[in-house]
Amino acid sequence: MLRMLDITKKPVRPLVAVSILSADFGKMAEDCETVLGMGADLLHLDVMDGHFAPNLTMGVDMIKGVRRHLPEVCLDVHMMVEKPGDYVEAYAKAGANNYSFHWEVTTNAQGSGAPGGDANEMISRIHDLGMTAGMVVNPGTEARVLEPFLDRINVALVMSVWPGFSGQKFMPEVLEKVKWLHEVSGDHVRIEMDGGIGPVTSVDAAAAGCDMMVSASAIFGSDDWAGVIKALHDSPLPR
């Protein structure tokens, strides 16, 4: 039986978070079970609202459904929405374990009146509901904006593509942000990258300090899912 993964513990090799955005939505539970059986550590669920990101993907019922079929899996929810504060309770109830929201939508980024609300208030609410909290920066946002929150969050997610779609090309220029986060973050923070991660780009990502890798199309688009998952796991972290 699987034991629930604790992402607050520093892993010895990169964690592989399979993004189900490229799975077959007609046989979602089966695809999830398959990748977990192949050694994937957790599932990454991309929620988009058609406003913050130019796509509509999945909502709370998908998280509920995956949780129902896989009671022990760690579910990492990536909210690419304008108002992440509105859904914390619903996703906690649906079974999410980590709830990550974008810095760009918060009042911390935009000033008062921003739709996303205050980051510290949201982190507190996420924790009170028993989830770990993550904050995300787009390719155009400095990682330093996360500095005030690094004591409180467990995931610092650096986008290596612009939010929206699977299958985009990895942006190597964001690796500098990962290096900086690796230097300044405590062991309780996972440094996650999302977008264009596959067996080649994972080597640079891990070397920069990324210890939680999201991957969708490199896995589901390959005819050797297990081989890709293994390659991501085997990407050496800095010593």
Residues in contact with ligand DX5 by CB under 6 A are 19, 21-22, 44, 46, 78, 161, 163-164, 166-168, 194-197, 214-218
User: Does residue 102 bind Zn ion (CB under 5 A)?
Assistant: no
The smaller minimum CB distance to Zn ion, of residues 163 and 199, is found at 163
User: Does residue 190 bind Zn ion (CB under 5 A)?
Assistant: no
Which of ligand DX5, Zn ion, none interacts with 197 (beta carbon under 5 to 8 A by kind)? ligand DX5
Within 8 A by CB and 6+ apart from 37, the residues are none
Burial classification of residue 168, based on how many CB atoms lie within 10 Å of its CB (0-12 exposed, 13-18 middle, 19 or more buried)? middle
In the chain, the largest separation of any two C-alpha atoms, in whole Å, equals 48
Would you call 41 a catalytic residue per the annotation?
Answer: no
Would you call 46 a catalytic residue per the annotation?
Answer: yes
The smaller minimum CB distance to ligand DX5, of residues 173 and 183, is found at 173
Helix ranges (H only) for 99-165 are 107-110, 119-128
Which of ligand DX5, Zn ion, none interacts with 102 (beta carbon under 5 to 8 A by kind)? none
Site for Zn ion in 193-222 (CB under 5 A): 194
Within 8 A by CB and 6+ apart from 11, the residues are 41, 190, 211, 212
Q: Which helix (H) or strand (E) holds 42?
A: strand 42-48
Residues at the site binding Zn ion, with contacts judged by CB under 5 A: 46, 78, 194
The residues that are catalytic are 46, 194
